[in-house]
Amino acid sequence: MIRAAEQSDLETMMQVEQAAHSHPWAASIMQRYLAKPNVCWVLEYQQRVVAHAVVSVIADQAELLTIAVHPDYQGNGFGKQMAQQVIEVASAAAAEQLFLEVRESNSTAIALYEYLGFCETGRRRSYYPTATGREDALLFALPLL
Ligand SMILES: CC(C)(COP(=O)(O)OP(=O)(O)OC[C@H]1O[C@@H](n2cnc3c(N)ncnc32)[C@H](O)[C@@H]1OP(=O)(O)O)[C@@H](O)C(=O)NCCC(=O)NCCS
């Protein structure tokens, strides 16, 4: 079941965030987005929050700010369900495009975005820190109209 996240989900969301990402968000950033309606979404499986996504809509542009599935639950279609929810939220808010940035090395996420119809629109060189240096961000966009 996918539902809007609540303040009480913060701790579980941060557990997912920290387990899934090499460079997770700080809890203070997640909390700031949790204060806004229809921005943070969680997926519950067997009464446990196992995935989340954060989508911001400003005017006619939407951005997927973060998405994560707990590693124990990856590869079960939950990431795809969350991404489809984000597309629905952005469409319902009348956004014309949905943007995101992804690490060039993140082939799983890139395969998912391409499956959903996103197209690569650009690159930010050396945008992300890695364990050993920096890597590029790829920019993807999905037209919604
Ligand atoms: C990226 C992520 C959200 C995908 O979630 P998931 O639940 O594992 O993915 P799904 O099971 O929904 O799979 C969706 C698609 O991703 C691709 N995919 C999933 N696992 C894959 C793997 N091991 N190798 C290659 N592609 C894979 C496939 O295209 C798959 O579609 P299919 O099942 O029809 O073949 C998840 O792996 C994750 O949280 N990763 C760490 C955080 C992260 O990288 N977030 C994205 C930052 S932009």
Residue range 16-43, pLDDT digits in tens: 999 999 999 999 999 999 999 999 999 9
Instruction: Return the closest-CA partner of residue 24 out of 65, 76, 80, 79.
Output: 65
pLDDT at 59: 93
Residue 86 scores a pLDDT above 90: yes
Can you give the residue ranges of every domain in the chain? 2-143
pLDDT at 145: 79
pLDDT at 84: 97
Residue range 122-134, pLDDT digits in tens: 999 999 999 899 9
pLDDT at 42: 98
| Range 100-110 average pLDDT | 97
CATH class of 2-143: alpha beta
Query: Which amino acids are annotated catalytic?
Result: 101, 113
Residue range 59-69, pLDDT digits in tens: 999 999 999 99
- Name the pLDDT band for 6 (thresholds 50, 70, 90): very high
Summary mean pLDDT of the chain = 97
Question: Which atom of ligand 1 is the closest one to the Cα of 74?
Answer: 8
CA nearest ligand 1 atom 1, residue:
109
Question: Which atom of ligand 1 is the closest one to the Cα of 69?
Answer: 39
